[in-house]
Amino acid sequence: MRFGRRRRGYGSTGGLGVPSQLGGRGGRRRGGRVRWLPILLFAIYGAYYYLSNQQEVPLTGRSQLVDMSREQEMALGLQSYRQILGRERILQGGETVSAVNEIGRRIATAAKEHDPGFEWEFNVVESQQANAFALPGGKVAVYTGIVPVAENVDGLAVVMGHEIAHAIARHGAERMAHQKLVQMGTMAAGMAFSDMDMGTQQMVMGALGVGAQYGVLLPFSRDHESEADYMGLIYVARACFDPTEAPKLWERMGRSSKGAPSEFMSTHPSHETRIRQFEQWMPEALKIRRESCPS
């Protein structure tokens, strides 16, 4: 985590196989003018929508676009969590379950000043996937496939701190708002170019779709991942885990995930980018750990 699938439309043909666009006075093709009114209306409403739905991300202070209440977001998160866990095998006990619950409790406590009132819940899913996720409302799941990559308690804390940060930063709601804005822009562009011939419409809409994907949605997604990396690292340090495990974790992730797409085409920063960012943030994290955990 994008927008509605474009319809591939073609002009209907009459009995002689002549495209309907060629009809009309003198058999000329329809005009290719751009209708500017839909673009103008979208620009006005889009600016109003963006400016009137600004929130502030805890810890980083970044302004973000969110248009739903926390209650709505938490209800959607709980619904999705139940659906996902209903399809998975959930471990009920054991060393991994105990570790995940203890790590989650400590990190949630460290992030308490930014917690809007989540009811934290931590589950372990038996799966070979090297994955974990957190949904609004504090619903966290860790897949057993990530445990060997995490390698130790501090590595697992880095994974869970990152996911907990996603929930606290409301990244899911922000992505939905961005997608909504892109969909509105796509609809406005469709109306603006509706007088053009079908081939030109498809070319223009295709270019706009690619531009929105690679110029808006994917960069925002990578920014969310980096922000969750930073926030999670701070929470890990406050919870008295070892933050220096973060770059080591992503070195291991890089070795275990070959053939990843280039960063430009990905929703996540490259492993090399993440390692470099962790090294930049590490002095702050170590200072926080010393102050929070003097023993």
Catalytic annotation, residues: 163
Give the residue from 67, 44, 47, 64 showing the smallest Cα distance to 55.
64
Sequential DSSP letters for 234-245: HHHHHTT--TTH
Helices (H), 213-293: 218-238, 245-256, 271-292
Could you give the 3-state DSSP secondary structure of residue 33? coil
CA distance 124 to 142: 5
In 3D, which of 96, 83, 150, 154 has the Cα closest to residue 123?
96
The letter for the amino acid at 190 is G
Q: Rounded distance, CA 143 to CA 118, Å? A: 21
- Of the CA atoms within 13 Å of residue 156, those in its CB half-sphere come to 24
What's the DSSP call for residue 130?
A: -
